[in-house]
Structure 1
Amino acid sequence: MSGGVGESSRMTLDNWLISRLAAEMNALLNRSRIQSILTSNSGMILSCYRRGHTLALHAVLDSNAPLAAVLEHTLRQKETSAGGWADSVAALLRGCTIDAIHAVPNDRVIFIDASSRSSFGVPSRTRIALELQPRKANALVLRRAHDDAWVIVAAAKQFQAPPTQSLALGSEPALAQARSVRVGSPYALPPARISRMDRTQFLAATRDIEPGDRASLSHLLRESDPTCSPVLAREAVFRAEAGADAGVDAGSLGARLLHAWGAVRDDLTEAQTHVQPLYVYRQSQGHEEVVTCHLIPLKSLELPEARGASLNALCLSELARGATPLNAALRPLQKRLTTMLARSRAEVKALEEARSRAADAGGLRLAGEAIYGNLAGIETGAAQFVTPEGTSIPLDPTVSAKANAAAYFKRYKKASSGLPRIEARLRVLRANQAHWEQLEWELERAAALPAADAAPLILEIATSLQRTGVGSPDQRDAARRRKRSAPGESARQGQERDRKITLSDDAIAYVGRSPRDNERLTFSVAGPNDYWFHTRGVPGAHVIVKTNGRPISERQVEEAAALAAGQSRAAASAKAEVDYTQRKNVRRHSAGRPGLVWYDNFQTVLVAPKSVTEK
């Protein structure tokens, strides 16, 4: 994290810190199994499962300060999800085991190596490359070819190298190393930074710089050694000026500077070999925003110093403050939900009109019977027939009366036989709409949540949107898996992340975090005599109240109902209606959508919504 005082508040990682971060990620994700990948142009979220926990690796391809970090959830994400630039390789990654996470030496690139075996035992290797250089950040999925070369199979950013040109005197040598990133082409590392001067040139250049010009000295040091980041260059200049390195010719500023940088490098190498807590610097004591951190103390900063054990934790807090791939992932999900809801509502309207016409099918049968009973009295070519009761029946003058009667019977049969299908389709669409409206609200809520809470919610929503239809085979299989699972298994998996609120008289309210968490609380955590709350007619969280075996009081009802209203789309309303009943009166919707339920024997209370964080 090489930013310094006065620079951008977003921290950046130099190659020394990238190496430390890769080691911490490896400790968290090694031997985990990849479950899903969610991607956008601004980053990716890789969801993995390891020893009963789901861990999500976030990579943010911010042009100024790309970052990566791993966060942990206690609920296992059983479904798979994909999207964005990695959609075509999601199946390739799913089920792979992460073998190692390591950094490229002296570079800001992290490799995530994964492997799998086919049903015939044939091994295959896949690699995810996170290139975390500012202004050039990228993420790629690579596949091992037969000649042991790595081939690009997906990339967040693809580009073509400029045409090869002859280098003029004084031009940038990095131009000759330009590379292309295209799916199907071999992978090459980003062009490495190179030293632009040797020791003799460096010493000569420092003679023309005033001793107090720290910026120019830092720039020269970085030009001479590509592994020297801005904050480390300033530290070396500070040490050289402070005369910390005795025995060096005091008259040679360049020699003192090179000696100081050598000492800094030795300290960094020692810190990499023997892992110690990081040195963390903030603007002031108690200030949460981190200015920078490193493996060694940075006396040049003159800022309050603290020790932090985990670079991954610091990166997570930085991701929570800034832009994450979640924000970009929200937009396509919101667009898709809006489109699906609009199409569903249009189809419901058309089907309701068709149902109305089908309800009048009895008139078609009566018209056919009237025509058939008066065949002899209907003239050939007549345009209508008036019954003895005075009812006018339109006729097709080009066909006989008998053919007209047959046409009316055919229309009647079609209309009446289609009515059950219309009703069935309407039930499907309404179940879909209820579920999609719930997901739409969950997306709105996720946009305001910290990254650690929003990530599993967005992954769950992306998974739900991949399902097609209601009551599809995969949903029925999921329902069977729920029935086969051991009693209380879901409750044990999520108990560490339960959102509990203490109500009056020591009653406990559990507030759902997502559709799947709503289902878990209602059907795994709640007992049959516990109380279930939900805001009427709008998407919202399930609230379960446990009263320790005592009847629920009016005060507890109001408190729990206020929580349910506060965690719903009615949260901004002055008052909201909330239904409540005992858990034994709540049952899963036959469609199998998570969190979608039927309930009866309920009561309704009108309350003012209350946030979970309010006391």
Structure 2
Amino acid sequence: MDGITIAALSTELHHRLTDSLVDRVTMTDRHTLILHLYSQKEGRLVLTLGANPSRPVFGLTSSSPLPALTPPPSFTMFMRKHFRRARLKEVTSPLGERIINFLFDTVDDLGDERKLKLIFECMPRTANLIVVNEQNVILNALRHIDETVNRAREILPAHPYIAPPMQKRRSIRECLDMPYSELFAETNQKAPVSRVAYSTVVGFSPILGEEAAFRADLRSDHLFSALSESERLRLADALKSICHEIEANAFSPAIYTTQPEGTGANEQIVAHVISLTHLPYKIPFDRIADALTEHNAYVQEREALLRLQTSLSKRIGEHIKRTEKKRELHASDMAKGKTAELDKLKGELILAYIYSVPQGAQKVLLDNYYEPGTTILCELDPTRSPADNAARYFHRAKRNQRRLEAASKLLERDFEELAWLDSLAVAVRRAESYDDLLAIDHEYTVKTDRTTRRKRDTEQQLDDRSPGKPASKNRRCSKKYAESRHKSNRKKTKEAPPLPPRTFTSSDGFLIYVGRNNFQNESLLRKARKDDWWFHVKHVPGSHVIISTEGKDVPSTTLLEAAGIAVWYSGAGRFGGSAEVDYCRVRDVKKPSGALPGRVIYSQYKTIYTAPLDPTRLRRAVE
């Protein structure tokens, strides 16, 4: 949000929200204030003011998007005390500044009327919410700034409010009245064209600098000093044309996107009130507040998705490293265990030639009667008898045999766990929404919790074998209390309904289902008909894809589309080359007993070699 958008927004809010009553005050997080307003013109509205230094947020909706914090923060209690039943009288914004002033009529504890101003400073890094009285003295602020942070501008209760320093730029009116030749006289001549354009006018942002360069038919990254006189005149004329639109309030609120509206893989770029001709695709809005609200919601969702995606990738990556280390240890144990047969043979040979083994020898070379003509060197303990050395070899052989059997089982389990973790890592990278990531997080949490609980129960069983402590009264009471709390929490917890699978309609009208995580892959397999088609990329983690046949023959076009979708949602990559996709009837797909989520075996399959298919080319069915 730049100064031009804020100015237009404050004017719109003044007309829409004047005389609104503050009905309720909450906070959804430590940066975001929610004012529940009631207006006779608009009805009930929810005003969201987010002062997060990384990204200030504005929103105006009919309902609160998130639950309130409990217990409420101290700033919430302050706002409730001073602004409950307050009436909004005016919404203003300083010229070109990213500040919105909300002036309220309130009543103090003694019943006396007074005016309070809520100042929303929506500049990144210094965003804040400040309450001042009629004497411009700060009563409270969301973020307290003392002299250790900013000596020139302290924001503390009982301190006078000092506005942020004004921008050293020209106003809209000054730019319109100034001759073309003097417009860029005080700018940095060595800066790019777009920077020179937006740093000339107060309230302009880099996106308006790009727009001015585009209207002047200039490259935005060219140096201003390299422009000819005619090119500078064109840039000045383009800048003045934007200023004319602003002065005439010729606003056209819109969200600008990377693709036309309705396209599947469409990303929002910016929301603005000026017509940005250098961005061809846009979604128009009647109101500025609606455009900003939707764009801010989109950005917040994308940021939340990125944070969860990063967190999940880190957790799964660390789990993969731990499992790889276990696999290496188990592989080492397995290599040691493979010497069991040789140790057993050495023991047998020592017993067979026991009378020819000298007492006190450190090693002896014996003929291998299993392979005539070969000998085996046996190392001996000189302090032991030949019979004891043979027994030592037999004992070592049994121990290595047990090690081999245990290591082989553990190694197989490690490979299965790594395959499961790789499938989760691929699903995280291919997630398209926050809900997709929540489903993956749920699967990972449930699986790891089960493993942790199984280990804890095993340790408890071993602990219960030791006498004394498990039978003590305190131990029994604490165990009973923990079980009751666990049951109580399980009853209170209401699980959200499971997320439906991704659903698309093929060119021939068949429904194609795609699992979002391994739990959903298994659910799809259970619910599918025996004659439905199942798809999965060969030897690569990815989603299970099901074609619902409904007893009909499936054309080759639909088979190819489903195979392409399977490649798209797999580790083979959306931007990689073609991959082999195995497909068969659902009746030929089985899950082995005790296997990890998503692991199946299949038979009677065929293979298609195909490229990834962007499923947005198909019609998304109603989920």
State the one-letter code of the partner of 1:5: I
Correspondence list, 1:592-607, <5 A: 593-607=596-610
Distance 2:309 2:9 in 1: 22
Structure 1 residue aligned with 2:429? 444
> What is the DSSP-based 3-state SS (H/G/I as helix, E as strand, rest coil) of the residue aligned with 1:104?
helix
Structure 2 residue aligned with 1:543? 545
Distance 1:106 1:213 in 2: 42
Correspondence list, 1:232-381, <5 A: 281-282=253-254, 289-291=270-272, 305-306=286-287, 313-320=294-301, 324-381=303-360
Distance 2:317 2:24 in 1: 40
Deviation at 1:160, TM superposition (A): 11
CA contact (8 A) 2:592 2:600 kept: yes
CA RMSD of aligned residues (A): 5.7
**Runs of 4+ residues over 6 Å off in structure 1:** 6-11, 14-17, 22-27, 67-70, 95-103, 105-109, 157-165, 210-214, 283-288, 307-312
Distance 1:614 1:376 in 2: 83
Query: After superposition, what is the alpha-carbon deviation per residue over 1:369-390, rounded to whole angstroms, capped at 9, x for unaligned?
Result: 2212333321112122333443
Cα–Cα, structure 1 residues 324 and 583, in superposed 2: closer, same or farther, change >3 Å? same
Deviation at 1:433, TM superposition (A): 0.3
CA contact (8 A) 1:471 1:590 kept: no
Cα–Cα, structure 1 residues 314 and 557, in superposed 2: closer, same or farther, change >3 Å? closer
Query: After superposition, what is the alpha-carbon deviation per residue over 1:326-349, rounded to whole angstroms, capped at 9, x for unaligned?
Result: 323433433333333233234324
Query: After superposition, what is the alpha-carbon deviation per residue over 1:362-421, rounded to whole angstroms, capped at 9, x for unaligned?
Result: 221121122123333211121223334433322222322122111101111101122221
CA contact (8 A) 2:515 2:543 kept: yes
Deviation at 1:361, TM superposition (A): 1.3
Cα–Cα, structure 1 residues 356 and 425, in superposed 2: closer, same or farther, change >3 Å? same
* Range with greater deviation from structure 2 (413-422 or 514-523): 514-523
1:414 aligned to 2:404?
A: no
Distance 1:361 1:8 in 2: 82
Distance 1:108 1:292 in 2: 33
State the one-letter code of the partner of 2:307: A
Q: Quick one: which of 43, 54, 74 aligns to 1:63?
A: 54
Q: Quick one: which of 487, 500, 504 aligns to 1:501?
A: 504
Correspondence list, 1:33-432, <5 A: 61-66=52-57, 104=76, 135=125, 174-175=155-156, 281-282=253-254, 289-291=270-272, 305-306=286-287, 313-320=294-301, 324-389=303-368, 390-432=375-417
Max radius of gyration: which structure?
A: 2
Distance 2:412 2:8 in 1: 52
Q: Quick one: which of 558, 561, 564 aligns to 2:563?
A: 561
Query: After superposition, what is the alpha-carbon deviation per residue over 1:35-71, rounded to whole angstroms, capped at 9, x for unaligned?
Result: xxxx9x999xxxxxxxxxxxxx9x994524257999x
CA contact (8 A) 1:471 1:592 kept: no
Distance 1:443 1:407 in 2: 52
Distance 1:596 1:25 in 2: 50
> What is the DSSP-based 3-state SS (H/G/I as helix, E as strand, rest coil) of the residue aligned with 2:417?
helix
State the one-letter code of the partner of 1:281: P
Cα–Cα, structure 1 residues 406 and 422, in superposed 2: closer, same or farther, change >3 Å? same
Distance 1:64 1:108 in 2: 25
Deviation at 1:613, TM superposition (A): 1.5
Distance 1:290 1:504 in 2: 35
Distance 1:580 1:211 in 2: 65
Instruction: Work out the percentage of aligned pairs sharing the same amino acid.
Output: 22
Distance 2:505 2:352 in 1: 76
1:517 aligned to 2:528?
A: no
Cα–Cα, structure 1 residues 601 and 508, in superposed 2: closer, same or farther, change >3 Å? same
Deviation at 1:174, TM superposition (A): 3.1
Q: Quick one: which of 434, 440, 445 aligns to 1:463?
A: 445
Deviation at 1:577, TM superposition (A): 1.0
Deviation at 1:358, TM superposition (A): 2.4
Structure 1 residue aligned with 2:612? 609
1:5 aligned to 2:10?
A: no
State the one-letter code of the partner of 2:386: A
> What is the DSSP-based 3-state SS (H/G/I as helix, E as strand, rest coil) of the residue aligned with 2:513?
strand
> What is the DSSP-based 3-state SS (H/G/I as helix, E as strand, rest coil) of the residue aligned with 1:577?
strand
Cα–Cα, structure 1 residues 444 and 393, in superposed 2: closer, same or farther, change >3 Å? same
State the one-letter code of the partner of 1:499: R
Deviation at 1:457, TM superposition (A): 4.8
State the one-letter code of the partner of 1:399: R
Distance 1:132 1:345 in 2: 50
Cα–Cα, structure 1 residues 421 and 67, in superposed 2: closer, same or farther, change >3 Å? farther
> What is the DSSP-based 3-state SS (H/G/I as helix, E as strand, rest coil) of the residue aligned with 1:174?
coil
Structure 2: tracts of 5 or more residues without a match? 33-47, 82-119, 129-141, 164-170, 176-201, 204-250, 262-267, 275-283, 369-374, 458-494, 619-623
* Range with greater deviation from structure 2 (454-463 or 368-377): 454-463
Deviation at 1:542, TM superposition (A): 0.9
Cα–Cα, structure 1 residues 23 and 562, in superposed 2: closer, same or farther, change >3 Å? farther
Cα–Cα, structure 1 residues 283 and 349, in superposed 2: closer, same or farther, change >3 Å? closer
> What is the DSSP-based 3-state SS (H/G/I as helix, E as strand, rest coil) of the residue aligned with 2:384?
coil
> What is the DSSP-based 3-state SS (H/G/I as helix, E as strand, rest coil) of the residue aligned with 1:431?
helix
State the one-letter code of the partner of 2:379: P
Distance 2:556 2:25 in 1: 50
Higher relative CO (CA 8 A, sep ≥ 6), structure 1 or 2?
A: 1
CA contact (8 A) 1:330 1:458 kept: no
CA contact (8 A) 1:441 1:540 kept: yes
Distance 1:334 1:67 in 2: 30
Structure 2 residue aligned with 1:528? 530
Distance 2:571 2:579 in 1: 10
